[in-house]
């Protein structure tokens, strides 16, 4: 929200913002294991890490939008695919035969974050479609939401975010529940990496498909697929492990394939001089929604008394709302 209010991505060179944010996020990540001595120390360093991610993910999308006016859906498919792989990567480190400690995993992820920032700074110049933004005015944020198509894309994205990160956060929990029910064991971290990471391929594939069908249709059918997974989750939680893994792979494919296409729609429907602000404000609201969603799932698991098999149905309102806004957009366009 601070990045959006100050229009950081529109007023300053995006590649430098990306690098500086990567550097500071990596430092905060390391501070968790080097300086934090108690619960609040951990919370503060995690908060700072999350704060500077605002200069990485949405700014990365802004950079892509500056380079690609046509083919943006494909470009963002690759970019969000990389995000997915990066999100899944710590699970792979934890599940590897190296048996890395949490501290060593944190070192690895911090170094990779810093290297990503260096690569952007050294090799990615300003895109040909970039326009330097204006000084911040509160009306800039109101301005971007006045566009009906932009509102449809943004609110569709908000529905998608209600589901996405909560699903990712609870993948290891889902695996654990199914294994306990079937009285077997396997490498939960490795399979968490696979289930989350497979979304990288669906993002890339969706990007190419969007070149023929349009971003809105790809987002609509991906969101429809993940919504069906939410609705059917109570059937599969106690299924045989192989069937359950196939179900989770389908969910992992559909839950993220719409994300780059929503970002494409947001970028395409926002005014050029406010594109970075628009991407950042929409992303910040989307991540704020995940706080509510994750906390709700946590409450339902621990205090509601509901069977875990029925809890993930509460993710369904997000896809339903997103589909409603997308349907309006498709009907108009």
Burial class (CB in 10 A: 0-12, 13-18, 19+), 183: exposed
Spatial distance between the Cα atoms of 83 and 242, rounded to a whole number of angstroms:
27
**Run of H or E residues at 240:** none
Q: Is the dihedral of CA 329, 251, 293, 5 positive or negative?
A: negative
Which tens digits make up the pLDDT trace of 226-271? 999 999 999 999 999 999 999 999 999 999 999 999 988 988 888 7
**Run of H or E residues at 316:** none
**pLDDT < 70 positions in the chain:** 131-141
SS (H, E, C) 217-270: HHHHHHHHHHHHHHHHHHHHCCCCHHHHHHHHHHHHHHHHHCHHHHHHHHHHHC
Burial class (CB in 10 A: 0-12, 13-18, 19+), 11: middle
Identify whether the C-beta of residue 116 lies closer than 8 Å to the C-beta of residue 101: no
Q: 95 CB contacts (<8 Å, ≥6 apart)?
A: 187, 188, 189, 190, 191, 192, 193
pLDDT at 332: 77
Whether the pTM exceeds 0.95: the reply is no
Which tens digits make up the pLDDT trace of 215-234? 999 999 999 999 999 999 99
DSSP code for 38 = S
Spatial distance between the Cα atoms of 192 and 83, rounded to a whole number of angstroms:
15
Which tens digits make up the pLDDT trace of 67-89? 887 888 898 899 999 999 999 99
């Amino acid at each position: 929200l601070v990045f959006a209010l100050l229009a950081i991505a529109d007023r300053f060179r995006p590649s430098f913002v990306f690098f500086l944010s990567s550097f500071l996020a990596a430092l905060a990540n390391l501070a968790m294991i080097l300086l934090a001595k108690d619960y609040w120390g951990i919370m503060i360093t995690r908060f700072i890490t999350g704060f500077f991610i605002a200069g990485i993910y949405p700014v990365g999308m802004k950079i892509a939008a500056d380079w690609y006016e046509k083919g943006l859906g494909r470009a963002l498919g690759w970019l969000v695919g990389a995000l997915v792989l990066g999100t899944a990567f710590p699970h792979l480190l934890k599940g590897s035969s190296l048996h890395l400690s949490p501290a060593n995993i944190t070192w690895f992820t911090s170094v990779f974050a810093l290297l990503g920032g260096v690569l952007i700074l050294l090799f990615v110049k300003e895109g040909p479609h970039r326009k330097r933004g204006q000084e911040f005015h509160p009306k800039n944020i109101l301005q971007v939401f006045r566009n009906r198509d932009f509102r449809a894309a943004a609110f569709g994205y908000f529905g998608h975010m209600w589901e996405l990160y909560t699903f990712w956060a609870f993948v290891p929990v889902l695996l654990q529940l199914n294994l306990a029910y079937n009285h077997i064991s396997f490498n939960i971290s490795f399979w968490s990496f696979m289930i989350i990471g497979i979304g990288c391929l669906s993002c890339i594939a969706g990007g190419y498909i969007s070149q023929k069908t349009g971003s809105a249709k790809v987002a609509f059918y991906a969101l429809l697929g993940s919504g069906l997974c939410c609705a059917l989750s109570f059937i599969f939680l106690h299924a045989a492990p192989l069937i359950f893994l196939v179900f989770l792979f389908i969910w992992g494919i559909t839950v993220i394939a719409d994300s780059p296409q929503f970002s494409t729609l947001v970028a395409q429907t926002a005014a050029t001089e406010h594109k970075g602000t628009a991407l950042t404000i929409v992303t910040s609201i989307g991540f704020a929604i995940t706080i509510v969603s994750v906390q709700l799932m946590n409450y339902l698991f621990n205090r509601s008394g509901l069977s875990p098999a029925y809890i993930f149905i509460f993710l369904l309102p997000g896809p339903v709302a997103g589909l409603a806004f997308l349907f309006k957009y498709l009907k108009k366009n």
